[in-house]
Amino acid sequence: MTASSTPLPFPILIGDIGGTNARFSILTDAYAEPKQFPNVRTADYETIDEAIQKGVFDKTSVQPRSAILAVAGPIKADEIPLTNCPWVVRPKTMIAGLGLVDVLIVNDFEAQALAIAALSDENRERIGNASGDMVASRVVLGPGTGLGVGGLVHTQSTWIPVPGEGGHVDLGPRSERDYQIFPHIETIEGRVSAEQILCGRGIVNLYRAICTADGIAPTMSDPADITSHALAGSDKVAVETVSLFSTYLGRVAGDMAMLFMARGGVYLSGGISQKILPALKKPEFRAAFEDKAPHSALLRTIPTYVVTHPLAALAGLSSYARMPANFGVSTDGRRWRA
């Protein structure tokens, strides 16, 4: 049995650490339903260790022996800084101070990828007519604080999550309207990456670019306001912003589908995808997704979904914790033991 498939000892603390909220559950054994805990606000605790102790351990008689934590940030050493939160994850300190004997840290979109290996129909909403539950490679995209992308490759009866930085691929203009708007998109060192448009601040970036292209003074600066007005049809620029957002998300989703040959489907995760679901169900998203000549016929057969599971990352990590041998999760340099 390889190191990656060696089970962690139960009970296992499962954690999904975001920029604003951290979500935790405890899995007592391979057959139990996870015990959920209220969301922990990262700003309320100085360290992640304090948050785990006070937000979880002090509220249950079940004391975990190991932990699997999904974090947004590069995992390169014994100290793991988080991208959108001041916490630093120190597995050796967790082992010394929290009574754990085994700690595994994975990328946040690996957890999202693990979740889409077996997502039931009640936890996903299909977009478009392509259907089917082919046991084949899949992709998850999550427009949120940034744009996360994760692959889930299926080979030799094993699901292998593939983290990466797919949200930073180039996104360029194609239509006449695009060419009017793109000169006004805020760039990073001269380039427009997908994340410059396909995330919360990207919605604002796109909205302002449309206003500038049309000579209109912007009146909104909160992505939630823009999406709310778009869905209500109460602001013309907001409506176009979300329509183009759906188009561009469809283009990038189609690119990722081809990159991973994701015949098993492309999944959109995160709060933005759920909020703008009515817009994603309009023709623009699927039209852009399928517009991939010479492979449009292939793309028409690939299903697309919005993940509606409220705790998808925790569910994905729990699946791995129960049956690690079913997943090719690399643990090199990411697993610490007492």
* Alpha-carbon gap, residue 129 to 114, rounded angstroms: 24
Q: C-alpha distances in angstroms, 335 versus 90, 164, 332?
A: 11, 19, 7
- pTM of the entire structure? 0.91
pLDDT of residue 1: 41
Say if CB 130 and CB 302 are below 8 A apart.
Answer: yes
pLDDT of residue 2: 46
* Alpha-carbon gap, residue 308 to 262, rounded angstroms: 20
Count Cβ atoms within 10 A of the Cβ of residue 142 and give its class: 0-12 exposed, 13-18 middle, 19 or more buried: buried
DSSP designation for 188: B
Q: C-alpha distances in angstroms, 87 versus 82, 96, 144?
A: 6, 18, 19
For each of the domains in the chain, give its residue range(s) and CATH number, in order of start: 12-108+312-337 (3.30.420.40), 120-307 (3.40.367.20)
Phi/psi at 83 (5° precision): -70, -45
Say if CB 51 and CB 39 are below 8 A apart.
Answer: no
* Alpha-carbon gap, residue 144 to 149, rounded angstroms: 11
Q: C-alpha distances in angstroms, 244 versus 147, 224, 227, 287, 316?
A: 16, 16, 12, 12, 31
CB within 8 Å of 146: residues ≥ 6 apart: 83, 167, 195, 199
CB within 8 Å of 33: residues ≥ 6 apart: none
Sheet holding 147-155, edge to edge: 124-127, 304-307, 266-268, 138-143, 147-155, 158-163
- Give the distance from CA 63 to its chain's centroid: 29
- Give the distance from CA 27 to its chain's centroid: 22
**Tokens in use for 116?**
């889409």
The residues that bridge with 107 in the sheet, in sequence order, are 71
* Alpha-carbon gap, residue 313 to 334, rounded angstroms: 18
DSSP secondary structure string for all residues of 15-39: EEE-SSEEEEEEE-STTSPPEE---
The residues that bridge with 24 in the sheet, in sequence order, are 15
From first to last of its 338 residues, what are the pLDDT tens digits of the chain? 445 558 999 999 999 998 888 999 999 999 999 999 999 999 999 999 999 999 999 999 999 999 999 998 778 889 999 877 899 999 999 999 999 999 999 988 899 999 999 888 999 999 999 987 889 999 999 998 889 999 999 998 899 999 888 999 999 999 999 999 999 999 999 999 999 999 999 999 999 999 999 999 999 999 999 999 999 999 999 999 999 999 999 999 999 999 999 999 999 998 899 999 999 999 999 999 999 999 999 999 999 999 999 899 999 999 999 999 999 998 989 999 99
* Alpha-carbon gap, residue 68 to 39, rounded angstroms: 17
pLDDT of residue 5: 57
* Amino acid in the structure at residue 228: S
Say if CB 24 and CB 44 are below 8 A apart.
Answer: no
pLDDT of residue 316: 94
